[in-house]
Amino acid sequence: MDGFLDRLTGTTPRVGLRRDIDTIIWDIDERRFLIRVKDGRTFEAAAPPNHDPERAIVRVVYFWHARHIVFETNRGDHLLGIMPSRHNLAPVDGRPVVYLDQNHWSTLAKTSRAPDRVPEAERKAALELIALAEAGKIILPISAAHHSETSHWVDDDSRYQLALTMLRLSKGWQMRDPLAIWADELQRDIATYSGAEPSSSPPVFTLEPWVIHDAKARSTVGPDDSTQPGLPADLEFAFQSALSTIVYFDLLLNTAPIRREASHGWRANQQRTTDALAADHRPKAQKRQIAYAFALDDLSHEMAKAAAHTNVSTVAFDQWVRSIWNKEMIGTPAVAMFRSMFVDKHLNPRTTWQDNDLNDLFYLSAAAGYANHIVAERHTTGLIAQSSKRLNAPVAAHRSITDLIANLTLAR
């Protein structure tokens, strides 16, 4: 990228061009980059060939000052992605954040492409939700869970239509990787308990690049970790934002399914614990403490990493764990929601663990810690509602889009 503007502009001063950039166009099939500037001039350079047979994106147009990026697919569809400002990674602006479980994204896709397959009341609600998202009145983020669950569909047309719906309505909004959310929460809570100054908390729902899959990623590029040494910070950030959006959009629109690994070992371990608790005749309060201990073990690796990062003593760490773990309220919204849902699921003797439960618990609990609304399937909605009441969390859980629309309050 550092040499890219030089190749396009020849002797044109780079600083002046940055100020005057209007549009950057990448024609993938034609293997060329174009930069248009405000006075009408166009500069061109060859782009490297892209021989990926499974790519769906054929053209990318970056509207520089508007911070919008538009994709054209090989089926002629167009999608808009919103680029963040380096100084405002999450311009929520008071809008409600609504996190949809995968089955409700499927409802929106069917409503757009095959409305007769959706019951009338849910179809009307879905159309209203789509209109709100398109008008920018709500935020519908997607997560790595959505990527995983969509990408493995083997029906190419259904997978494409679902991905198209998700990208069209999310517009680049995403949820940070839950492991990164947990790490930040735990580090801040340990630091606060130890009397240290906690770091600022990055936004969970954001336009920030490279946060959806990589728990270690941060978009704030320092002088030593720039991918293009010597590149000014605004160009480096614009480059990373555009590249991240291109990668995520292209991944979700991939023309071939991506195999997903099942969590058989994790599921079997959970089922053994649930069955053991069901067979235990001790009082429920005691069984809840056992389930808390099991949840603590499930999170032990993340907690140890957080303690190491905050550099507290083993004594201080032990005191912190003892002070918060058996309390209903802890100052970590996503971790607290995960623990509560995890324990409640184990304490239900009728629970049969499924492979997808890991995704549901991991991502939906993180979303429930910060979103205004969650729309999920019946069982998970019950867990979230029960946990949000216990934790006094502000999230509202809904079993249908119809119920969401009936209870959705928009910012004025």
Could you report the per-residue pLDDT of 213-246, keeping only the tens digit for each? 864 544 444 333 445 555 577 778 888 888 899 9
Local structure of residue 158 (DSSP, 8 states):
H
Give the whole-angstrom CA distance, residue 388 versus residue 228.
45
* CB 210, CB 240: distance < 8 Å: yes
Residue 96 CB partners (closer than 8 Å, separation 6+): 138, 139, 372, 373, 408, 409, 410, 411
Question: Listing from the earlier edge strand, what are the strands of the sheet with 396-398?
Answer: 98-100, 373-375, 396-398
Query: Within 10 Å of residue 16's Cβ, how many Cβ atoms?
Result: 11
Instruction: Report the pLDDT averaged over residues 199-203.
Output: 86
Work out the angle at residue 361's Cα, subtended by the Cα atoms of residues 355 and 367, and round it to the nearest 5 degrees.
140
Region 143-161: mean pLDDT is 90
CA angle at 20 for the pair 57 and 233, rounded to the nearest 5°: 75
d(C-alpha 298, C-alpha 300), whole Å: 6
Region of residue 171 (phi > 0: left; psi between -120 and 50: alpha; otherwise: beta): left
AA letter at 115: P
Q: Distance between alpha carbon 259 and the CA centroid of its chain, in Å?
A: 20
Q: Which of 69-73, 138-142, 324-328, 380-384 has the lowest mean pLDDT?
A: 324-328
Residue type, 319: Q
Lowest mean pLDDT among 118-127, 291-300, 366-375, 379-388: 291-300
Mean pLDDT of the chain: 86
- Examine the pLDDT at 5 and tell me if it is beyond 80: no
Please give the share of the chain, as a percent, with pLDDT higher than 90. 52
Which pLDDT score, from 0 to 100, does residue 61 have? 94
pLDDT value at 266 more than 90:
no
Residue closest to 72 by CA, chosen among 166, 182, 164: 164
- Whether residue 7 has pLDDT greater than 80: no
Q: Chain-centre distance of CA 316, in angstroms? A: 33
Least confident of 286-295, 322-331, 354-363: 322-331
Distance CA(129)–CA(282), nearest Å, equals 47
Q: Quick one: pLDDT band at residue 196, thresholds 50, 70, 90?
A: confident
Residue 150 has pLDDT above 70, yes or no: yes
Q: Return the closest-CA partner of residue 399 out of 24, 107, 134.
A: 107
When pLDDT is averaged across residues 168-197 and rounded to a whole number, the result is 91
Question: pLDDT above 70 covers what percent of the chain?
Answer: 89
Q: Cα angle vertex 338, ends 333, 339, to 5°?
A: 100
| Contact yes or no for 338/362 (Cβ under 8 A) | yes
pLDDT at position 153 is 87
- Cβ neighbours of 321 (radius 10 Å): 16
Residue 10 has pLDDT above 60, yes or no: no
Task: Show the tokens assigned to 89.
Answer: 């990674």
Q: Give residue 398's identity as a one-letter amino acid code.
A: H
- Averaged over 365-394, what is the pLDDT? 94
**pLDDT tens string 332-351:** 899 999 999 999 999 999 99
Neighbouring-strand partners of residue 68? 63, 82
User: Biggest alpha carbon distance in the chain?
Assistant: 81
Asked if 190 and 320 touch (Cβ cutoff 8 Å), the reply is yes
Instruction: Please count the helices (runs of H) and the strands (runs of E) in the chain.
Output: 17, 11
pLDDT, average across residues 353-357: 88
pLDDT at 164 over 50: yes
pLDDT over 70 (residue 116):
yes
- pLDDT at residue 355, rounded to an integer: 84
Kindly report the number of other CB atoms within 10 A of residue 322's CB atom.
9
Q: Which residues pair with 69 in a beta bridge?
A: 62, 81
**CA dist 89 → 18, 62, 232, 241, 331 (Å):** 21, 18, 18, 10, 24
Task: Determine the residue type at 387.
Answer: S
pLDDT tens-digit readout, 60-94: 999 988 889 999 999 999 999 999 988 899 999 99
